[in-house]
Amino acid sequence: MSQRPSTPKINILAVAFIYFALFLVSVWIDHYQRLFRFPNKNEFTFARMATDVLIGFGSGLLVAGITSLATRYIKAFRDLSQSFYEFIGPLTRQEIFFLAVFSAIGEEFFFRGFLQGKVGLIAASLIFGLIHIGPDRRFILWTIFAIVLGFLLGGLYAWRGNLLTPVIVHFVVNLLSLTKLTVLEDQKDST
């Protein structure tokens, strides 16, 4: 049985500030270098935006579903889930929501909007994965997952030509993963 940490081990406000800073730096750089890709006025339609939103939610649900199945049936993923919970501690639904929002916007604007435009899909995806290195070896699977997710997000950005789709995917994956992590650990603690 897991021991439930009494308080989060991470400072939610500090993490949110870092993500917001990534967003601001990206927007500031884009102001001078125009790196972000958005549909031009002739391509931007309600149908296109709705398609991007549906692709984003669908892809996010698919990734979260695969992750959930892997956690249920593969010991390495269960161990990672437990280690991740021990690392971050308990989170409220509000903290989960804001972490999902800030990480999705901050990381996607920086890694896809800025970095992918500068160094390309492969390098941006590898760097994205490498910043997701945990505090010890138990988190190597998280790093590998982040690299794979980086390629998916970068591919969606290149394919759809805008940041909306990868931001939604990232938000859905983080929201559902953190929520499931908290729910599973709360269930373990109550048994």
pLDDT tens digits along 164-173:
999 999 999 9
pLDDT digit string, tens, across residues 90-145 = 888 888 998 999 999 999 999 998 899 889 999 999 999 999 988 888 889 999 99
Is pLDDT above 80 for 188? no
- Give the list of residues 6+ apart from residue 149 with CB closer than 8 angstroms, or none: 63, 128, 129, 170, 173
Share of the chain above pLDDT 70, in %: 84
Distances, alpha carbon 21 to alpha carbons 9, 133, 176, in Å: 21, 20, 24
Query: What's the CA gap between 124 and 103, in Å, rounded?
Result: 16
Per-residue pLDDT at 9 = 60
Q: What is the pTM of this model?
A: 0.85
pLDDT at 177: 92
Residue boundaries of the structural domains of the chain:
12-23+47-183
Residue-level pLDDT at 26: 82
Residues in contact with 141: Cβ distance below 8 Å, sequence separation at least 6, in sequence order:
76, 77, 80
CA distances from 136 to 80, 86, 176, 181 (A): 11, 12, 24, 19
